[in-house]
């Protein structure tokens, strides 16, 4: 009986060793829940190129956009938990959508095994040059003096741009009008002055900022953005804990073998420490923030709780 118990106990160990020795023996599908060419997609492609080299097998990106990333996340969650399907998760898919959507078909904590936290892209508050404010304090004063004149744009209800704006309204005691968009018109109207401001990741704004078509007033990271060293954070501008960043992390369907998760975690850790990849990401507004599974699990839970409150304040809801 003791021998049988020892044999049974040894089986998982031998299986784990086998997985570690043979994985991956074919390409790995990485679901990116946004369209090709988006900021998230471009970052995923840069990172996975290096990870593919380290694993000796390609990570094949499958773009599956829709419903704020929910369609792609659901697809990954329902995939076989064998390590050959992964999700490029974001703050939207793993922390926001569970509170934003009235009906969501996956649970970001129960349906996924955390693999690695990758990086974040802090938002930047930019205004049209006609807005007579060059600091956050001046913007707040102007908005209180002329509340009917200012608004903020977003790429849709419940997006990071919307939630940051709604949080700013509450923190500063403002009533800025939210103007949501579904497509590229958001930048056309912002550049023409039809909308006053937006909270958005730096990379899509970079060209407009450099051309002085948009003026940055603050960054929304915990520290200043390397690409905008002279622009203060919202924290420095008098709003403690006002941090909004689009973060990125890798998840596997729950039940994936631990040995495979360990292999993936090590590969992503090595990739994010690679000097060449770091040089390529420099100037994009991306902050490398690697963390392993335990830290990512705790971080995801904390972010879900944080955004639950933010969404309640914003009043955002999607059927």
Query: What does the buried/exposed string (b/e) look like for 258-274 if buried means 16 or more CB atoms within 10 Å of the residue's CB?
Result: ebbbbbbbebbeebbee
Please report, rounded to a whole number, the percentage of residues in the chain having pLDDT higher than 70. Answer: 93
Residue 5 pLDDT class (50, 70, 90 cuts): very low
pLDDT at 177: 95
Whether the bond between 262 and the residue before it is cis, its omega within 30 degrees of 0, is no
CA distance 203 to 39: 7
The CATH number of domain 26-120+245-314 is 3.30.1640.10: no
Q: Which pLDDT value is given to residue 319? A: 73
**What's the rounded Cα separation, in Å, for the pair 186 and 205?**
12
Res. 13: pLDDT tops 70: no
48-54-56-59 Cα dihedral, nearest 10 degrees = -10
pLDDT digits 0-9 by tens, 225-244: 999 999 999 999 999 989 99
Average pLDDT over residues 2-25: 52
pLDDT tens digits, 119-151:
999 999 999 999 999 999 999 999 999 988 999
Q: Which pLDDT does position 258 carry in this prediction?
A: 97
Model pLDDT, residue 184: 76
Per-domain residue ranges of the chain = 26-120+245-314, 122-219
Structure tokens at 211: 């051309």
In CATH terms, 122-219 corresponds, of 2.60.120.260, 3.90.25.10, 3.40.190.10, 1.10.10.10, to: 3.40.190.10
How far is residue 207's CA from residue 205's CA, in Å, rounded to a whole number? Answer: 6
Residues 6+ apart with CB under 8 A from 172: 140, 143, 239
User: Which tokens is 212 given?
Assistant: 């002085």
pLDDT tens-digit profile of 182-219?
877 999 999 999 999 999 999 999 999 999 999 999 99
Could you read off the pLDDT of 156-183 as tens digits, one per residue?
Answer: 888 999 999 999 999 999 999 999 998 7
């Amino acid at each position: 009986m003791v021998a049988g118990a020892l044999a049974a106990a040894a089986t998982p160990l031998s299986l784990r060793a086998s997985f570690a020795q043979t994985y991956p023996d074919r390409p790995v599908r990485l679901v990116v829940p946004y369209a090709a060419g988006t900021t998230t997609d471009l970052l995923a492609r840069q990172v996975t190129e290096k990870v593919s080299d380290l694993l000796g097998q390609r990570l094949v990106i499958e773009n599956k956009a829709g419903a704020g990333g929910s369609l792609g996340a659901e697809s990954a969650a329902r995939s076989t938990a064998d390590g050959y399907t992964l999700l490029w998760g974001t703050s939207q898919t793993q922390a926001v959508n569970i509170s934003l959507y009235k009906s969501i078909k996956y649970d970001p904590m129960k349906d996924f095994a955390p693999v690695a936290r990758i990086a974040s892209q802090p938002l930047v508050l930019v205004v049209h040059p006609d807005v007579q404010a060059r600091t956050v304090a001046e913007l707040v004063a102007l908005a209180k003096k002329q509340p009917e004149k200012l608004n903020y744009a977003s790429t849709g209800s419940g997006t990071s741009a919307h939630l940051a704006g709604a949080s700013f309204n509450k923190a500063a005691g403002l009533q800025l009008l939210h103007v949501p968009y579904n497509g590229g018109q958001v930048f056309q109207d912002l550049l023409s002055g039809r909308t006053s401001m937006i909270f958005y990741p730096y990379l899509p704004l970079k060209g407009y900022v450099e051309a002085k078509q948009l003026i940055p007033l603050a960054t929304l990271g915990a520290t200043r953005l390397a690409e905008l060293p002279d622009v203060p954070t919202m924290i420095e501008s008098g709003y403690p804990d006002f941090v909004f960043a689009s973060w990125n992390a890798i998840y596997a369907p729950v039940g994936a073998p631990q040995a495979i998760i360990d292999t993936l975690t090590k590969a992503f850790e090595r990739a994010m420490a690679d000097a060449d990849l770091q040089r390529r990401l420099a100037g994009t507004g991306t902050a490398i923030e690697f963390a392993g599974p335990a830290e990512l699990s705790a971080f995801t839970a904390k972010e879900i709780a944080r955004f639950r409150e933010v969404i309640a304040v914003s009043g955002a809801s999607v059927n």
